[in-house]
Amino acid sequence: MLPTARIPAALIGPDKILWPVDIFGKSRTRMTHAFAQPLSALPSGRLAGRVMAPGDKSISHRALMLGALAIGETTISGLLESGDIMATAAAMRAFGATVERGTDDIWRVNGLGTGGLLEPEGIIDFANAGTGVRLTIGIAGAHPFATTFVGDASLSRRPMARVLDPLRDMGAEVIARSGDRLPLTIRGADPMAPIEYRVPMPSAQVKSAVLLAGLNIDGVTTVIEPVATRDHTERMLKGFGADITTEHANGGTIIRLVGRPELTPQRVTVPADPSSSAFLFVAGLLVPDSEVTVENVLLNPSRIGLIVTLKEMGADLAIENERQSGGETIGDVRVRASRLNGVHVPAERAPSMIDEYPVLAVAAAFAEGDTTMEGLAELRVKESDRLAAVARGLEANGVTCREGDDSLVVTGGRVRGGGTVTTHLDHRIAMSFLIMGLAAEQAVSVDDSAIIGTSFPDFVEQLKRLGADFADGAEAA
């Protein structure tokens, strides 16, 4: 049976909550985010220059995890040094791996091998990192010891059932709050059983959690995706020496992983995150007379839905210096200020741009006509209910939109601005509406910019280098 000890009430700090709770989820007190940092983006003059977005978040998470599961030293250059990734680094240390940043800015991970992780001495706090916690739950769930996970107020509202259900099928035991939410404790069976799992909805996180669990299970673990999602886990597993095969069929994939491999440490170079780069693309397209080049952007085919959509809208966008690095396609993306037109974005494109819909909605607000986005159910269970948060942010700034259960229609044209947007502790909501403020008639404010550090710590500084202007809460008032 799992332990019933209480989780210590020791999680107080920026972007965190006070959690005097037991692991059955009976919260005594919840004190959310006492260190909010309001920020306003002011109407901007021309943006110009070359800039680099932070390292890709998906690849950064996976590099740290697979480094911890390999035997020997993995080196990682270009790692995203954000709150989410630092949470994953801390988690790998909690499992016994050595994770250090050198003076040369190279991260070094000395792993313990597949099945070699140690039982953490305390709880593992993932703050706001949804990808980090779901993938690490997959790793921990295949080990025969108990691991307890907690997060901030936003993460603690997000459902974990779709990751936990296949792990239960493999034999893991879970105690969680109602709705399978954090805090939760998971213990793997000894032994675990490989499964064939059909992912019920497109989710790279669920696929990855099952595959990472399968690393420590004898036999073949199979994941069937009716709709293909980003494939960074499969590519990186193969790069680290795992026996993994992928079969494409009818728009989906069948992935088979042979368990108990001996992973080989690697030299990983992390390209720029296309989801973070998206804010820079849209800023360059919306602010008059601008020309911005974002360097070294990851152009994995499963991640370029926004680029495809912006070009359909009439964006002056070009990919330059395209090349291969570490099994991935990268390139420099150059954008020039453009007159955009509304388009229909089909549901089947959603997996390739799910994190970019908030900033696409901002671009759509400036486009001529309606932009219809479908297949957005996944946005309901992100760091916030992103679909609702985007709709309320648009309305607060004078933009007409229609929110459906899994769709959004934005009527573009004049953007008055002047509103304050509630971010709900969601970094992408904060950044998207700050981009709106750079091109609107009046400044746009967000109630909290501190959360931006979870994925793009130098977001404001990078935009300032291009010519953007911001004011903090006091100055804006």
Please report which residue ranges of 198-266 form alpha helices under DSSP H.
Answer: 204-214, 232-239
Q: In the numeric block, which tokens belong to residue 65?
A: 């995890």
Residue pointed to by tokens 């994995």: 300
- Say which residues have a Cβ less than 8 Å from residue 129's Cβ, sequence separation at least 6: 61, 83, 84, 85, 87, 88, 151, 155, 454
Phi-psi region of 132 (alpha: psi -120 to 50; beta: other; left: phi over 0): alpha
Give the Cα-Cα-Cα angle 358, 59, 98 (nearest 5 degrees): 130
* Residue 169 falls in the annotated catalytic set: no
List, in sequence order, every residue forming a beta bridge with 176; answer none if it has no partner: 184
Sheet containing 71-77: order of strands? 98-101, 107-112, 71-77, 267-269
CA dist., res. 225 & res. 204, Å (int): 9
Sheet containing 39-42: order of strands? 420-421, 444-446, 39-42, 469-472
- 248 membership: H or E segment, kind and range: strand 244-249
One of 15, 56, 273, 355 is an active-site residue; which one?
A: 355
CA dist., res. 225 & res. 158, Å (int): 22
CA dist., res. 164 & res. 174, Å (int): 8
Sheet containing 48-51: order of strands? 48-51, 291-298, 328-336, 316-325
For the chain, what is the radius of gyration of the CA atoms? 22
Can you give the length of the chain in residues? Answer: 477
Q: Which residues are catalytic?
A: 355
